[in-house]
Amino acid sequence: METVSLTGKELAAAINADTAERAAALTSGGRAPRLSLVVANDDPASAWYVNSLRKAAGRLGIDCDTVDLGADASADTIRSELSTRSADPETDAIMLQTPLPAGVHLDDVSSAIAAVKDVDGVSPLSLGLLATGLDGFVPATAEAVVELLTHHQIPLSGQHVAVVGRSNVVGKPLAQLLLARNATVTVCHSRTTDLAAVTSTADVVVAAAGRIGLISGEHVGSGAVVVDVGTNEAPDGGIVGDVDVDTVRGVASALSPVPGGVGPVTTALLMRHVVVAAENARTA
């Protein structure tokens, strides 16, 4: 079976074109949109992602500040920085990069991000708005999965989607977004008994657990669609996903590449969220 590549570059380019136009309008109106990236780790994959965000912002006319609090920052330090940025009228958008220092959990600090500036949708309020179907910023990676599938005309209504991973930044919000598209969703995790038995019955499998090679050919039913959300550091220093591509190719009808699949769309959506936050602030 031929496995089609679900690339995200074309979709990301379309989103970015709209974002750049809207950012230019804001800039001509007085001030460029401003994003604050708050970082408290020394993770290579995180550094790669933050760098890609900074470059994307620069290309689109968005000002981007990086606040590096260090890998040993306390929860109090992180909360204080997020509160300061939330209160700053010059800051339109805030993103807290993960992972966080040992002993600090996202739930401990994310509530300090004002919902109107929480462009990656990580705060309890933002997640609550998503769960209840109300307006708010959606976690960009989860949103990117749905947008990528829609762009490639992969049906979701009535389909069985297995989401492997239950994090608050991908797995759980993705399940909510898929339910809103009338998909039947199974959320799998480390305690799932016989993962392959569950995922192999799904029409769409989303790998979002952060483990290299977690999803292999035995986990995928013939003709299923596979979306790889993983961004793991490979032994050679590159970035690889959660899917064992060699065994899945030829079994799946479609597979998103890493890099070049969900990643570009995630970044594009984040930048669009920044502009939306800035537009909302100007009209508030």
Q: Dump pLDDT digits (tens) for 14-39.
A: 999 999 999 999 999 999 999 999 99
Domains annotated for the chain, with CATH where assigned, are: 32-114 (3.40.50.10860), 140-263 (3.40.50.720)
Query: CA 249, CA 245: separation in Å to the nearest integer?
Result: 6
**CB within 8 Å of 235: residues ≥ 6 apart:** none
Q: Model-level pTM?
A: 0.94
Percent of the chain with pLDDT over 70: 100
Tokens standing for 284?
Answer: 């508030």
Q: Dump pLDDT digits (tens) for 204-258.
A: 999 999 999 999 999 999 999 999 999 887 888 888 999 999 999 999 999 999 9
Which residues are annotated binding-site positions for NADP(+)?
165-167, 231
Which residues are annotated binding-site positions?
165-167, 231
Which residues on neighbouring strands pair with residue 94, listed in sequence order? 36, 118
Per DSSP, the residues of 34-54 read EEEEEE----HHHHHHHHHHH
Q: How confident is the model at residue 180 (pLDDT cuts 50, 70, 90)?
A: very high
Average pLDDT estimate for 269-273: 98
Q: How confident is the model at residue 152 (pLDDT cuts 50, 70, 90)?
A: very high
